[in-house]
Every structure is written in C-alpha cells, then in structure tokens.
Amino acid sequence: MINKAIAFFNKENAELVLHAGDFISPFSAERFTGLHCPVVGVFGNNDGDHRNLTARFESFGAKVSEILAQVKVNGKKIAVLHGDREELLQTVIQSKVFDLVVSGHTHAFEVKKVGDTIVVNPGECCGYLSGNCTVGVFYTESRETLRVDLRSNECMRL
C-alpha cells in the first residue's frame, strides 16, 4: 500500500508528503525513494531503530523528527506530530499558531476544525490495525481535505 500511496501522490503532483509516524522499520523507508516531492515526518510509538530509519530517510533527502516537525507551505503553518502524547497534541492544536495540525497514532481517519486550525489524522496507509488503507490530502489554497481510500481508489472531499 505504500507503493500505491506514492503512486497516488506522484500522479497528483503532491508538493510535500507529511508522515505522522509508525514507519515501523527501516525497510519501509526505501519505498519513499520513488516520491517526486520531499517527505517530512515524525517518529511514532511503534517505530524502533530510530537511528537506521533516520539514516535511510536522510539518504534521499527526507527529514524525520523525533517528536514535532514544523513546515510552512504556501503561507500555511503546519505541525506534524504522532499524537500519542495527548497533552502535547492538544497544546499544539490550541496554540492557534498552526493552520494545519497532522497527527496519527489512532490509525483512524479524522478531520476536524478547532477554531481556525484544521486537524487531520490521515489514518493508516497499510491497514494492518484498522483494516482501512487511507491517506489524506490537504489543499493549502482551499483548506479542504481529501480522504483517499487506497484499496477502492475512492476519494472523498471534506
């Protein structure tokens, strides 16, 4: 499913891929080398071997942070964190600093708005825990989110 997600992002000319953690193992990093855009991510609670994961991602220019990554895209401030530290997640969301907060951990797709901040959990790409294979796409101009089901290729604009 990682390959399918990468093919989707390439077809849609994604400018940036954000990953909210749970890469699991360094071998999964190799799949991302086919992306035609940068990757920014954070480690999740199911990630072992941070050293080798970091080395593999850095070998093709991707950046993986321990707890929190911050990027600015088309004037939008974005935070990425795994979400297993609930107090930290809520602090980042409530800070009113970010236009978009991307988190993972629950493996369940969710989009919500808290004040002016959009919070997106893209679910899980491979579907090992939830059975759902999803990714999310955020459009910086319209501030809309697209839920993509990688098994059915169904896309739902939210």
pLDDT on residue 98 = 98
pLDDT band at 2 (very low <50, low <70, confident <90, very high): very high
91 φ, ψ (degrees, to nearest 5) = -65, -45
The average pLDDT across 77-83 equals: 98
Sequence-distant (6+) residues with CB within 8 A of 34 are 3, 6, 10
Task: Tell me the pLDDT of the chain averaged across its residues.
Answer: 96
pLDDT on residue 118 = 98
pLDDT digits (tens, 9 = 90+) for 6-58: 999 999 999 999 999 999 989 899 999 999 999 999 999 999 899 999 999 99
Residue 154 has pLDDT above 90, yes or no: yes
Q: Nearest-CA neighbor of 98 among 86, 108, 107, 89?
A: 89
Q: What's the Cα-to-Cα distance from 70 to each of 2, 39, 104, rounded to whole Å?
A: 23, 12, 15
- Coil, strand or helix at 43: coil
pLDDT on residue 158 = 87
Identity of residue 140: T
Residue 30: both structure tokens together: 């190799």
The average pLDDT across 121-127 equals: 96
d(C-alpha 99, C-alpha 93), whole Å: 9
Q: What is the pTM of this model?
A: 0.95
The average pLDDT across 101-114 equals: 97
Residue that wins the pLDDT comparison between 129 and 68: 68
Query: Where in the sequence is the domain holding 21, given as residue range(s)?
Result: 2-157
CATH classification of the domain holding 41: 3.60.21.10
> Residue 35 half-sphere exposure, CB side, CA atoms within 13 Å?
23
pLDDT on residue 48 = 87
Domain tally, the chain: 1
